[in-house]
Each structure stands twice: as structure tokens, then as C-alpha cells.
Amino acid sequence: MNFFKLNELAIEFRSDIGINHSDPIDFFPLITNKLKNLTIAFLEMDDEISGACYKFDTQKIMFINSNHSKGRQRFTAAHEIYHLFYDNTPFTICNINSDDEIEKDADNFASFLLMPINALYNYKKDNNIEKWDLNLIIDCEQYYQISHESLIYRLKNNDEITFEEYISFKGDVKLNAHRRGYDSSLYEPYISKNYTLGNYVRLVEEAFEKELISNARKDEYLLDAFLDDLVYNMEDL
Ligand SMILES: [Zn+2]
């Protein structure tokens, strides 16, 4: 699918969940809130797998690699949205750097969902950017909370930076972000262990409240989804 069509889909999706086409999104809380039948499972996976997704009946589940950075995890979640809403395959495993056409479409959709074409254009204009350098790139990725890799890849594809610049901007940017006054949360996992967010948790709690399952069964279901903190009433993840 061409870029403009994918960008249109991404803008339509943003508008369906009440987001205009240029604001940054706090992605995980937003999709947990707006997509009532979505479950997000963070799981330890091999590094080259970014995530997976599965849909059945009305339920949608996305799996996110818990070892990846928050920027990457947000990108993966946006990528899985493409499979869950616009791709008919019921189960998909997503490898980083896949050459598959659907995988590329899902990647481009994800990039546009987190930062539509107009959003990047307006950001450049508002910040008087004529030539990107590492500092400007870090400012932009922090503003939109997108991964460093996905931003420089997008800029390279837009011919806004050369291939040589793309290579020179790759690598660990945590220290450079610190030097610009940012914290390092974007470059570390949003959730770094096996854990579950979203509808599964709501369904288990609801089944218990309606007395459809016993307390012991509820705990069992929660532990199955790595929700030890809910079983043992712990405050922190
Ligand atoms: Zn995929």
C-alpha cells in the first residue's frame, strides 16, 4: 500500500480514538482506554522478534517484546494495530527487518500513527528546521516519544537525511538525550517483564465481581497472565 494511503488510514484511526493529526500520543494508556476489547501482553522474546498479535471473536491481543525500549515497544504496538484492524490474518509473529510486504505496510502505518506526515511537516515548520542534526532528531523523538531508529529511518526515506547521515545517527543515543536534558525512559522498556494490560485483566475482575469464578480461580487466571502484583496486592510493577 502506498505511503499516503497508509497515512490516511493512520489519521482515520487517530480520529476514531479521539486524537487529532498532530499531537503526540501517550500510546499505551490511550489504547488501553479506547480499545475496550484489546489485551496487551508484554513477554520476553528473542531480540529479533518485536511482537505478535492474535484475534478471535471480538477479542484482540497484542504481544510486545519486554526487552525492547519504550520507543520500540510503542512502535510495535502501533504496528500490531495494523494487523489487528486492517489485516485478515488471525495470528502474526513480527520479525524486525522483515521483507514481507504486509510487515512493511504495518511498519509504515505505525510510523504514521505515532507521527502522521503532517505532524512531522508542522513540527519542522514550528521549530524552523532546515537541516536535521542529532540534537534536532533527539528533540523530535522525545516530543513524539518515538524510537530513534524509526525516526531516522523515516527521515532517510523522506530524503531529509542522507544514507551516510542515517548510519552516523544510528547507535545508542541515551547519553546524548541526557545531555539535552531528557530522561532515558524512551530508551528503556515501558514494561520490562512478563506482564499484561487491558481487557483480560478487566474480564477476570468482572467475572469475579459477578461471582462467575471463585477467588482461587481469579488468582489462577491473574497468575497465568503474570499479574502477581494483583494477586499479592503489591503496589509497584
Ligand atoms: Zn507485523
Measured in Å, residue 169 CA sits from the centre of ligand 1 at 25
CA dist 81 and 67 (Å) reads 20
- Would the pLDDT of 119 be above 60? yes
Over residues 33-46, the mean pLDDT reads: 95
Tell me how far apart the alpha carbons of residues 25 and 40 are, in angstroms, rounded to a whole number. Answer: 17
Tell me, in angstroms, the distance from the centre of ligand 1 to residue 100's CA: 9
Percentage with pLDDT > 70 across the chain:
99
User: Residues 168-185: what's their mean pLDDT?
Assistant: 91
Give the count of beta carbons closer than 10 Å to the beta carbon of residue 97.
Answer: 8
Q: How sure is the predictor about 48, in pLDDT bands with cuts at 50, 70 and 90?
A: very high
Question: What spacing in Å lies between the alpha carbon of 75 and ligand 1's midpoint?
Answer: 11
- What pLDDT, on a 0 to 100 scale, did the predictor assign at position 172? 78
Strand partners, 59: 56
pLDDT at residue 230 greater than cutoff 90: no
pLDDT band at 237 (very low <50, low <70, confident <90, very high): low
* CA nearest neighbour of 52 among 103, 106, 93: 93
Look over the chain and give the mean of its residue pLDDT values, rounded to a whole number: 93
Looking at residue 236, its pLDDT comes to 61
Instruction: Report the separation in Å between the CA atom of 183 and the middle of ligand 1, taken as the mean of its atom positions.
Output: 29
Q: How far is the CA of 179 from the centre of ligand 1 (A)?
A: 34
Binned at pLDDT 50, 70 and 90, residue 163 comes out as very high
Ligand 1 centroid – CA 41 distance (Å): 15
CA–centroid distance, residue 36 to ligand 1 (Å): 21
pLDDT of residue 98: 85
CA of 64 to the centre of ligand 1 (A): 11
